[in-house]
């Protein structure tokens, strides 16, 4: 198994070095290694403890207080989460020009904390909230502080309307980053899918735009059969090995 892993890591390094426009697509499996729960895992996913109906745009507009009561502990957990080796290695690869962009399904902001500069957040971000009336943006830590002081729902200091986490709720149009992500995927001659089972639409359509795929995920994905390299292992471990391999080639 270790020999096969080493061979596959070398293959990924080869593909990265030969590619002119590599792009990365990440999912929840990247952030679970930072202690951030995913949404759908049985027994541990967020939908086992939070009602998905709270994250519909209709539900939020009808009762924003309910979302903040239920979600504030998760928002605080995200605020305190730290990047892991996958995040920091991707930032280093970007510095070296070995990847052009990170497209992420995640809303935790850990790619930016880890040093990545070109990040397309197709599901929005929980790093801030926005006023749906006047578009004022507020850091999520300020919003959580208001909630913990009993201000439910937290309101815009300018117009008094409820603040909404700047994630894409069910029933909302996707982030403008999604269209940019599609453009990046069309330009890409290599897409690395990291930490995503590719079960969520329309993000799972992005890899279909490139013929050259690498999959790094703990479980199998729909795209495994068409990928050049597939590794089912910890993303942080694989990315650390990849950086070691690239460093040896300097």
Return the exposure string of 215-244: e unless at least 16 CB atoms fall within 10 Å of the residue's CB, then b: bbbeeebebbeebebbbeebbbbbbbbbbe
Q: Rounded distance, CA 200 to CA 194, Å?
A: 14
- In this structure, are 221 and 135 located in the same domain? no
Higher-pLDDT residue of 51, 240: 240
pLDDT band at 210 (very low <50, low <70, confident <90, very high): very high
Is the pLDDT score of 45 beyond 60? no
Is the pLDDT score of 34 beyond 60? yes
Is the pLDDT score of 39 beyond 70? no
- In this structure, are 54 and 17 located in the same domain? no
Assign residue 144 the CATH number of its domain.
3.30.1600.10
- In this structure, are 51 and 136 located in the same domain? yes
Confidence at residue 136, expressed as pLDDT on a 0 to 100 scale: 95
Mean pLDDT of all residues in 213-219: 96
Report the percentage of the chain scoring pLDDT > 90: 75
- In this structure, are 215 and 129 located in the same domain? no
Q: Which domain holds residue 144?
A: 37-80+125-167
- In this structure, are 17 and 47 located in the same domain? no
- In this structure, are 144 and 29 located in the same domain? no
Q: How many domains does the chain have?
A: 2
- In this structure, are 107 and 130 located in the same domain? no
- In this structure, are 69 and 101 located in the same domain? no
Assign residue 97 the CATH number of its domain.
3.40.50.1220
Confidence at residue 7, expressed as pLDDT on a 0 to 100 scale: 97
Catalytic residue positions? Answer: 123
Give this prediction's pTM.
Answer: 0.92
- In this structure, are 229 and 143 located in the same domain? no
């Amino acid at each position: 198994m270790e020999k096969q892993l080493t061979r596959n890591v070398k293959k990924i390094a080869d593909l990265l070095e030969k590619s002119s426009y590599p792009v990365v697509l990440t999912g929840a499996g990247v952030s679970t290694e930072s202690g951030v729960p995913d949404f759908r895992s049985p027994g541990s996913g967020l939908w086992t403890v939070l009602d998905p109906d709270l994250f519909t745009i209709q539900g939020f507009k009808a009762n924003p207080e309910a979302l903040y009561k239920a979600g504030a502990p998760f928002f605080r957990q995200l605020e305190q989460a730290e990047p892991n080796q996958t995040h920091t290695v991707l930032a280093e690869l970007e510095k070296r020009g070995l990847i052009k962009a990170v497209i992420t399904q995640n809303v935790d902001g850990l790619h930016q904390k880890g040093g990545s500069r070109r990040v397309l957040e197709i599901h929005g971000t929980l790093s801030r909230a926005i006023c749906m009336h006047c578009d004022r943006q507020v850091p999520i830590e300020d919003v959580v502080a208001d909630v913990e002081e009993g201000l439910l729902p937290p309101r815009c200091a300018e117009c008094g309307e409820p603040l909404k986490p700047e994630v894409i709720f069910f029933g909302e149009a996707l982030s403008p980053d999604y269209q940019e992500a599609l453009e990046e995927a069309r330009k890409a001659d290599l897409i690395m899918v990291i930490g995503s089972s590719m079960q969520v639409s329309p993000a799972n359509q992005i890899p279909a735009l490139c013929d050259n795929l690498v999959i790094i995920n703990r479980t199998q994905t729909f795209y495994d059969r068409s990928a050049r390299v597939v590794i089912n292992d910890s993303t942080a471990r694989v990315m650390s090995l990849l950086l070691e391999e690239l460093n040896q080639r300097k």
